[in-house]
Amino acid sequence: MIQTNPDPKAHYMKLVIGRGRKTLAVAVTLFLSAGLCALGIQQAAAAEPQLEKAIQAGQALFAHETFDGNGMTCQSCHANGGVGLGKLPNDTAIPSLSNAATIFPRFNPRANKVVTLEDQLRNCIVRALQGKPPAYGTEQMMQLVSYIASLAQGKPLDMGGRPQ
């Protein structure tokens, strides 16, 4: 036997209240999620000064550190902090580093392998500066990578692309 609701208004009110509760639950969930997102953004903003410090430290390394090598620094070849066209000691022109962080990893035909930005930095320090490069994962390496990455801010990712 099918029971019918003798009061259609009561049935309608139950539906509205039930939907209202669901709507309220969804609204509360969205509100709380927004609050958590805002908290995450505040935490990210609080961490930003640490990133800025790493970039500045990397810029100082780029400009002044010889890595116990031949007295040259990264800036000896890479003009204007790496954003200008550079020149090797033999006067060979080299591209800027303005997009370097966007093109790695990339295949290096001379090494016959895929290299990372860290590999490339270490290679430059060993070959051009004849120095001792920072080890992978060290604070100095992180600072150099942070600085080079900052030069590419806003540029599109172009893994395997060419330096500009």
Convert the pLDDT of each residue in 138-163 to its tens digit.
Answer: 999 999 999 999 999 999 998 888 88
pLDDT given at position 117: 96
Q: How confident is the model at residue 2 (pLDDT cuts 50, 70, 90)?
A: low
Treating both helix axes as pointing N-terminal to C-terminal, what angle do 8-64 and 139-151 enclose, rounded to 10 degrees? 110
Three-state SS string over the chain comes to CCCCCCCHHHHHHHHHHHHHHHHHHHHHHHHHHHHHHHHHHHHHHHHHHHHHHHHHHHHHHHHHCCCCCCCCCHHHHCCHHHCCCEECCCCCEECCCCCHHHHCCEEECCCCEEECHHHHHHHHHHHCCCCCCCCCCCHHHHHHHHHHHHHCCCCCCCCCCCCC
Q: What domains lie within the chain, and their CATH numbers?
A: 48-164 (1.10.760.10)
pLDDT given at position 72: 96
pLDDT given at position 23: 43
Q: Which of 36-40, 45-49, 71-75, 126-130 has the lowest mean pLDDT?
A: 36-40
The whole-chain average pLDDT of the chain stands at 80
pLDDT given at position 82: 94
Q: How confident is the model at residue 88 (pLDDT cuts 50, 70, 90)?
A: confident
pTM, whole model, 2 decimals? Answer: 0.69
Residue 105 has pLDDT above 70, yes or no: yes
pLDDT given at position 47: 57
Angle at 57 between CA 149 and CA 95, to 5 degrees: 40
Mean pLDDT score, 90-94: 92
pLDDT given at position 141: 98
